[in-house]
Amino acid sequence: MRDEEYQPHQIAGYGVRAQPALVELMSPQLRLTQLGTVAAVLALAASLGAVLTFPDFGDPTTGSGWAVTAAVVSGVLLVITVVQTLIWRRAMADWKGDADHDLRALTRISWVAHLVSYPTVLVGLWACIAGSVAAGTASTAALLLAFALLFLLLAQVLAGVQFLRTEGPAGTIPGHLRRLSAGIQRRR
């Protein structure tokens, strides 16, 4: 962005570490990761509830392992969302000028957590669906696994994939237009 596109109060003086425009731009990303972490906690609670209420058919191969798998996956996704939230908080502290963190290292860790979230959610989806079928669609465990599935998806979308980006939020129309405009300006 050129300086003309910033408001005067958003342009920091030279030598000042704080980047208020970047903090303002990235604050919604931090809130997304926080909401995703809440969704991951709810997924873990729902899947643990499914483990506790899974019907006992007297056969050890009844499918309760699917509920346990959903609980483990929910725990793993909770760790991923907490990592993403902590990384975003550190980056915000750096951009506010409150701390000095190596954002390149944080970006790498965040990218890896983002990649791990995809297979984690796929296993979780499979476990929730298979566990619901094994428990019987009218059971409490099946309902709790359906909620766990919903919260797993929300956690992954809101926090799991929100890896640290220093260039601005990805996927937004204004972001795409700015990149397109910058490419056109470079060609001139």
Q: pTM for this one?
A: 0.78
**Residue 6 lies inside a defined structural domain of this protein:** no
CATH number at residue 158: 1.20.120
* Domain coverage including residue 47: 18-167
Domain-embedded: residue 102: yes
4 falls within a domain: no
Q: Is residue 141 within 8 Å of 54, Cβ to Cβ?
A: yes
> Which residue pairs from 108-112 have beta carbons closer than 8 angstroms and sit at least 24 positions apart in sequence?
109/83, 110/83, 110/84, 110/163, 110/164, 111/163, 111/164
Q: pLDDT tens digits, residue range 95-152? A: 887 877 778 888 899 999 999 999 999 999 999 999 999 888 888 999 999 999 999 9
Whether 8 is in a domain gets the answer no
Tens digits of per-residue pLDDT, 6-59? Answer: 555 555 544 456 677 777 878 888 898 999 999 999 999 999 999 999 887 666
With respect to residue 12, please indicate whether it lies within any of the assigned structural domains: no
**Residue 117 domain-assigned?**
yes
As for how many domains the chain has, the answer is 1
